[in-house]
Amino acid sequence: NTRFADSVVGAVVEPVNSFFGNVSRSVSGFFDYFENKKELINKNSEMDNKILELERENSKLKAYENENERLRAMLEFKAKNPQFSMTAAEVVSKDTSNYYSIFLINKGTEAGIEVNMPVVGSKGLIGYVIESGKGFARIRTILDGRSSAGCMITRTQSIAVTEGDTSLMNDGLIKMIYVSKDMNIIKGDIVETSGMGQIYPPGIAIGRIEEIKAYSGSESQYAIIKPVEDFDSVYEVFVITDYVKP
């Protein structure tokens, strides 16, 4: 009878033990799953942070590289133009509401910068000073509709005038006017300052001819000029404080 009772108890208890053992293992596995998932999430978060930090460092290095390239180009421009006395300055703000028609730089009267002094970049003409105070100056760029410059076609020495145009400003272009129909100009011609006028010295690159158009019912034509300077990427400039007259 005892053996029989043990067998009965064993028959009843064993499945129960097995059930609760399985339940225990299932519960343990359930929590292990979430613990492993939590650990995985933490590792992914750490990895994301490391990737973000690497991207930041890469952006900084790229910014330093771009700055070095710009400064090197500025120094090369200065070396190629010993006839100019130039003061370097940083662009601290741009009038983006009117497509970079006005720049603000971080130097002014204390650095010898005065109104009507020409301003250049590493490639060519930017504009001229319209206001100068202690520690700042405002630059009117050649894109501004109120800006003009006596110019010359480098290839032919033909004389004309460039001016800003509100209809072209948003595309970063300017216009060349006083171009007669018999003037020998072609797309791709380089346009530079002629030295005529009271502001700009001769020989500063302005841009290249993009398109030649005729005025309706007139014997004259005009050209669309793409400036050599990319006004989106101008961060440093030279103000020409004096120059040797040719």
CB 125 within 8 A of CB 206: yes
Q: Which tokens is 151 given? A: 């110019």
Q: What are phi and psi of 13, to 5 degrees?
A: -75, -40
Pick from 168, 180, 184: nearest CA to 99 = 168
CB 160 within 8 A of CB 166: no
Q: With the CA atoms of 22, 25, 31 and 34 taken in that order, what torsion angle do they form, in degrees rounded to the nearest 10? A: -90
Q: With the CA atoms of 203, 197, 241 and 74 taken in that order, what torsion angle do they form, in degrees rounded to the nearest 10? A: -30
Distance from the Cα of residue 67 to its chain's centroid: 11
- CA-to-CA distance for 191 and 208, rounded, in angstroms? 6
**Average model confidence (pLDDT) across the chain:** 84
Against a cut of 0.85, is the pTM above it?
Answer: no
Model confidence over 173-209: pLDDT tens digits?
999 999 988 888 999 999 999 999 889 999 999 999 9
Pick from 207, 235, 227, 232: nearest CA to 100 = 232
Specify the pLDDT at position 197: 84
Percent of the chain exceeding pLDDT 70 equals 85
